Amino acid sequence: MMVKNLEIERKFLVDREKWSRMEKPDGTPYLQGYLSIDEDKVVRVRVAGNKGFLTIKGKSETYSHPEFEYAIPPEDALELIQQYTASRVEKIRTRIPAGNHVWEVDEFLNENKGLLMAEIELGSADEDFDKPDWLGAEVTGDKRYYNAYLSLNPFRTWK
């Protein structure tokens, strides 16, 4: 079956020292909660700045997964998060243009504080892209770095 809503992305850790020395735009605060997390799907509600979203992600296949995202009123998103989610992630997302792409760099807060990660969306798994010098190790496919996993197993608790 061909999936038309396929997200293809790569994830990397970020070199904190190089990132801190870089001039960058202000980031956007994100609060996201999880309505459902299992191995076949994740259902997420997100408030990104002053926008709300409901997202359903299918099972990941290394670089890609089906994704359906819908804008919803931010007040509804916040209420859904507060009333119906037990696991959450908070972060500041900074968007950095690089070549024909945009890097989304997430600085995690609260129980995930200390984690700094970048992701890039691609048109295909083998597409070439510019790698800024502040990128660290690639963590694509490592489930520990999925936001849904982090909501249940915070970075601060890792050994």
Is-catalytic flag, 145? Answer: no
CA separation, residue 97 to residues 12, 13, 16, 52, 134 (Å)? 16, 17, 18, 23, 13
Strand partners, 159: none
Assigned token pair, 158: 């890792």
Tens digit of each residue's pLDDT (9 = 90 or more) over 45-95: 999 999 999 999 998 877 888 899 999 999 999 999 999 999 999 999 999
Angle at 139 between CA 100 and CA 133, to 5 degrees: 50
CA–CA separation, 51 vs 46, rounded Å? 8
Domains of the chain in start order, with CATH, are: 7-157 (2.40.320.10)
**If you average pLDDT over every residue of the chain, what do you get?**
93
Q: What are the tokens at 26?
A: 């202000």
Residue 125, classed as helix, strand or coil, is coil
pLDDT band at 159 (very low <50, low <70, confident <90, very high): confident
Catalytic hit among 30, 34, 63, 146: 34
Average of pLDDT values for 3-23?
90
Q: Model's pTM, two decimal places? A: 0.92
Give 113's DSSP letter. T
